[in-house]
Amino acid sequence: MSHEGIQFLTREEQQKLEQDEARARKLTRGALTPSKVRVLQTEGLGMEIDWADGHRSHWSFAWLRDACPCATCVEERKLSGRSPGQPKARPAQLLPLYEPPARPASVQATGRYAIQFHWQDGHTAGIYSWDFLRRNCQCDACRAESTAG
Ligand SMILES: [Zn+2]
Ligand SMILES: [Zn+2]
């Protein structure tokens, strides 16, 4: 019988994990409840959410497309070592092919907890939960906080 694949965490790793979990749990109900959702589809300017706790978040469509939380995209990012929203590395080209910026063809609410984007490139699998979005808020304050840890 092989024990390969079983990992034991060191004490520091265990503490780090517990700290991360504590931080992750810190979000209040108000921080996870959108009071207003604006999808600036016609303007191509991304999505804005006003949260019940008074915070406002904004994401560009490009970020959202590159952060697609479906299993396929998560796996693909994991293999290429990208974080959510980080664009794919493209080989340098003398004459880069024009790629139209990511835009949703339509957007729909999924239950009370998420929003689903149907992208113009035909990808529709991504369901973006409020939790995922709030944890990936792109405002300066939240980004500073998430990189500080
Ligand atoms: Zn996806
Ligand atoms: Zn924020």
- Three-state SS for 75-129 is HHHHHHCCCCCCCCCCCCCCCCCCCCCCCEEEEEEECCCEEEEEECCCCCCCEEE
Residue 130: the pLDDT is 97
> Would the pLDDT of 88 be above 80?
yes
> Would the pLDDT of 115 be above 90?
yes
For residues 91-111, give the mean pLDDT: 83
What tokens does 91 get? 């080989």
Distance of alpha carbon 54 from alpha carbon 133, whole angstroms: 15
Of the listed ligands, the closest to the CA of 73 is 1
Residue 137: the pLDDT is 96
Distance from Cα 99 to the centre of ligand 2, integer Å: 29
Q: For the chain, how many structural domains are there in total? A: 1
Residue 112 is assigned to a structural domain of this protein? no
Adjacency order of strands within the sheet including 34-40: 34-40, 46-51, 56-59
Distance from Cα 10 to the centre of ligand 1, integer Å: 34
pLDDT band at 148, cuts 50/70/90? low
> Would the pLDDT of 95 be above 90?
no
Domain that holds residue 60: 33-88+127-149
Residue 84 is assigned to a structural domain of this protein? yes
Distance from Cα 145 to the centre of ligand 2, integer Å: 9
Of the listed ligands, the closest to the CA of 59 is 2
